[in-house]
Amino acid sequence: MKSGRFGVVAGLAVALALAACSSSEDSGAESSAESTSASTESPSADVADAVTPVVGHVLDDPVPVATTDGTTHLVYELEVTNVLPQDVTIDSVKAEADGKSLLTLSAADLINWTSMFGTAKPGTTMGPGESGRVWMDVSIAKGESVPTQVQNSLTVTLSTPMLPLLPATVVTPLPPMTVSGSAIKIAPPMQGAGWVDANGCCTVTPHRHAVNPIDGSFWVAERFAIDWVQVDAQGKLFNGDRAKLESYPYFGTDIQAVANGKVVAVLDGLPEQVPGASPTGLPLDEYAGNHVVQDLGNGHYALYAHLKTGSVKVEAGDELSAGQVLGNLGNSGNTDAPHLHFHVMAGPDPLRANGLPYEFDSFELTGRLASLGAVDELATTGGPAPMQSAVSTGTKTDELPMFLDVVTFPS
């Protein structure tokens, strides 16, 4: 398993060579004990333009999505760059709208929600010219209005203040972010009970981390991707030898179209992988394994990935109806256990597109795994895995299941 997950379509390591801004050896000002405590004011329309040590932007404006925790989520990423020839540390990140705080990530929070390019080092310190990414998940309580514009800002500390332009601590506003649109409503891709969201929204998972550099741009196809696995009535994922496909009762389950729409791409004939081991050496076009891409209309495309070898029943150009069987659940491509990888995206390429939110029209929330460790336990021992004790179960309408949810999809 990959950190207790069932594989991602792609998770490419990024190693980018970035040049820091040049500067003279003399910063033009000497620092003092008093200067290190200085800070800029919070950004407002009345504050004059100011030099900032960090620049950045939102990678992709968010679309609101309702989830099983009873809130509406705005899921997006901030890409930030240190433009100075010195270290800069991110102390906190805030999201605000209409004068109200929506989210604050402290230094402790940012350890899990921040990643610097080209390095595996922990922490939130950016070296000279270094870039990184902050994963954002703003949740809005039921009954509250979703803002149409959000202001994100970073509070950063310089290792060496550069007075008068840059004190020790600086609040850096990023360009305002627009929130618009709505999540597409679709039917579930399977039927039956015991389906587990083993790698989904909205915490940091391998799917959220899979921001891939392809053809000169970053793409976040898997922002809302889910790896679906199924446990039986006893809560078991597999029975017997973990390395044998026949040990997984749900292997070969029918996969159904989630809406009406034309098939735009098909791949079949790739071999099944051995469960319990991560494949290596795959070319980029085999990460999704045997798969189908369907045009759902209005710029939405569905990916059904890792299908069983030889099971794909459709061809490019076929018009599908919601509920029509298009193939069977398998273990092909970048996967270490049978599962359906499903996501919706803004283009027909499984990787070269940005992920879009979606909501299933109806399903039953029956429980929730206790933790990431419970996913690891399912993957390694077959389970049963511990469950959370206090979960608001029941019928859900037009919502997205969240990571660790166990659901029943209607027949």
**Phi and psi at residue 286, in whole multiples of 5°?**
-110, 0
Please name the residues in contact with 86: beta carbons below 8 A apart, sequence gap of 6 or more: 128, 158, 159, 160
Q: Does residue 397 lie in a domain region? A: yes
How many structural domains are present in the chain?
2
pTM for the whole structure: 0.88
Evaluate whether residue 13 is within a structural domain: no
Structural domain boundaries enclosing 156: 35-178
Residue 188: what are its φ and ψ, rounded to 5°? -70, 155
Question: Tens digits of per-residue pLDDT, 240-287?
Answer: 999 999 999 999 999 999 999 999 999 999 999 999 999 999 999 999
How many whole angstroms separate alpha carbon 368 and alpha carbon 231? 12
**How buried is residue 225: exposed, middle or buried, by Cβ count under 10 Å (0-12/13-18/19+)?**
buried
Residue pLDDT, tens place only, 168-213 = 999 999 999 999 999 999 999 999 999 999 999 999 899 988 888 9
- CA 234, 235, 241, 245 dihedral sign is positive
Same domain, 307 and 403: yes
CA-CA distance, 327 to 411, in Å (whole number)? 17
Residues 127, 197, single domain; the answer is no
Same domain, residue pair 217 and 154 = no
In a domain, 354, yes or no: yes
Residue 318 resides in a domain:
yes
pLDDT (mean) for 301-330? 98
Q: Which residue has the tokens 């569905």?
A: 302
* Same domain membership, residue 365 and residue 250: yes
Quick one: average pLDDT of 112-139? 89
139 Cβ contact partners less than 8 Å away, ≥ 6 residues apart: 69, 71, 72, 73, 74, 103, 202
Adjacent-strand bridge partners of 178: 149
Whether the per-residue pLDDT at 28 is higher than 90: the answer is no
More confident residue, 295 or 11: 295
Q: How confident is the model at residue 16 (pLDDT cuts 50, 70, 90)?
A: very low
Residue 399 lies in a domain: yes
Both tokens of 53, joined, read: 């040590």
Choose the final residue of a domain: 178, 201, 221: 178
5 belongs to a structural domain: no
Residue 3, pLDDT above cutoff 70? no
Question: Please, are residues 226 and 7 in contact by the beta-carbon 8 Å criterion?
Answer: no
- Residue 8, in any domain of the structure: no
Of the listed ranges 17-31, 56-70, 171-185, 357-371, the least confidently predicted one is 17-31
Report the CATH number at residue 86: 2.60.40
Same domain, 138 and 188: no
Please say which residue of 122, 149, 178 terminates a domain: 178
Reference 296, options 153, 150, 386, 183; nearest CA is 183
Rg of the chain over Cα atoms, rounded to whole angstroms, equals: 23
pLDDT reported for residue 123: 80
Q: Are residues 220 and 330 in the same domain?
A: yes
pLDDT (average), residues 364-376 = 95
- CATH code, domain with 404: 2.70.70.10
